[in-house]
Chain A
Amino acid sequence: MGFLDRFFRRESPRKSAKERLQLVLIHDRADISPGTMEMIRKDIIHVISNYMVISEDGIEMDLERDGKSVALVASIPVLEVKRGRGREGVK
C-alpha cells in the first residue's frame, strides 16, 4: 500500500492531517471569523470598485500559509479598468 501510494503520489493520511491542521490553525490563531472575512471582502470590493469593474462572484479570498507566515491571498477578476477615475497612473 505504502509503496503504491508513493508511486502514485497520493497524499498520505499523515500528510493531509498535518496540512489540514496547519490551515485550520491559521484561522484559529488569527481568530478571524467568517463574518469578519466577509466584511474584509466587502471593503476590498468597495475600494477596488472605485478603479475597476470587478466580478464580485469570481472573487476568491482566503488566508494562506506561506512558509511560516500567513498571507491574505485574494484573486479578484477584473472585467474592466475604469477610465478617468482614480489617480494619475490610471488613464
Chain B
Amino acid sequence: MIDRKKAGASAETEESLMDTRIIVVTSGKGGVGKTTVTANLSARMAMEGFKVVAIDADIGLRNLDVVMGLENRIVFNMVDVIEGSCKLPQALVRDKRVENLYLLPAAQTRTKDAVSKEQMMDLCESLRGEFDFVFIDSPAGIESGFQNAAVGADEALVVATPEVSSVRDADRIIGLLESFGKRSINLIVNRVRPAMVRSGKMLGVSDVMEILAIGLIGIVPEDDSVVVSTNKGEPLAMANLTPAAKAFEKIAGRILGKDIPLQDIDDLDERGFLVSLKKIFGRRGGRY
C-alpha cells in the first residue's frame, strides 16, 4: 500500500489487488471543516496516484459536490445506488482535473432515513477492491446520519477546531467511534491561529491533545485561501501551496504511512520567539 504512492501509479493494472482503506471524516459539531478536509484529502490522494472516491454521506444537505466543484455533473446519487435505481459506476462523478478522483454524491431531496446501516455497510463493501481510498464525509451530529457514515469505515479522522464547543463534541464522537469498535481514530486540528494561541487567547494544539488524548495526524492553520477555493469549487490541494494546502499534503502523507514529523506543537504554541526565528531562517515559514 505504502509503496504504491508514486505519482501516476498504474491503478488499472492492479485494480484487482487493491487493498481499500475506508476512512470516515467526522466531527460531531458542524462547520469545523469536515467537508473541506474530505475534499482536500481525496484530491491529494488522487494526485499521489491512488484511485479515490469521496462519498458525501450528508443525505439531504449535500455539500461535498460544491466544495469539489462537481455539482453540475451529478446525474445519480448514493441513494439511487442503494435503491438499485442505477449501477454504482453511473452515480460516480469523475473529476476531470485529477485522474482517479471520483465523487459519490448524496441525495439532496431525501432524508437520512432513506439509508440503513446495513445498506451503507453493503455500499462500502462493494467499493472494496475498486478503490485505494474511500473518504466518507459524515454529517454533523451523533444520530443515524453519522452512524451510517461511520459503520462501513475502517478508520476515522476526527476534525476539531480549537474551540470549547468543537473539542467537547469531538470528545463525544471519539467515545462513540470507540464504542463502534473503530480502532484507528486520528485527530485533525483545523483552523489553528498560532498568533492567538501564543498570546493566550485561544486553545493550542497541545491543549486539545491533552484533553482528547488520541493520535494527532495533522494541524491545519486558519487560511483565507480555503474560502476562496470553496467559492471556486477547486480543492486547495489541486491548485496552490497555501499553508492549508501544505497541511493537507502532509496529512495525506501521514495517512500513507510516511514519517512526516508534526511540528513541535509547543514550539508553535508557546514559544513565539522560536516560531519567528523559524520564519526568518526556514525556507517556507511555518511548518504545518
Residues of A in contact with B (beta carbons under 8 Å apart):
1-2, 5, 12-15, 17-18, 20-22, 24-25, 28-29
Contacts and interface: CB of A to CB of B under 8 A. Distances in A.
Nearest to B162: A17
A14 B164 contact: no
Say what secondary structure dominates the interface of chain A.
Answer: helix
B164 A24 contact: yes
Contacts of B197: 14
Contacts of B203: 14, 17-18, 21
B274 to A, nearest CB: 17
A60 B204 CA distance: 33
Contacts of B164: 17, 20-21, 24
Interface string B210-232: 11000000000000000000000
A1 B207 CA distance: 22
Contact of A22 (B202, B204, B211): B211
Interface string B240-251: 000000000000
Contacts of A2: 199-200
Chief secondary structure at chain B's binding surface: helix
B235 to A, nearest CB: 31
Contact of A15 (B172, B200, B211): B200
Given A14-B197, A14-B203, 20 more contacts: A2-B199, A5-B200, A12-B201, A13-B202, A14-B200, A14-B202, A14-B207, A17-B163, A17-B164, A17-B207, A18-B207, A18-B211, A21-B164, A21-B168, A21-B203, A22-B211, A25-B171, A28-B168, A28-B171, A28-B172
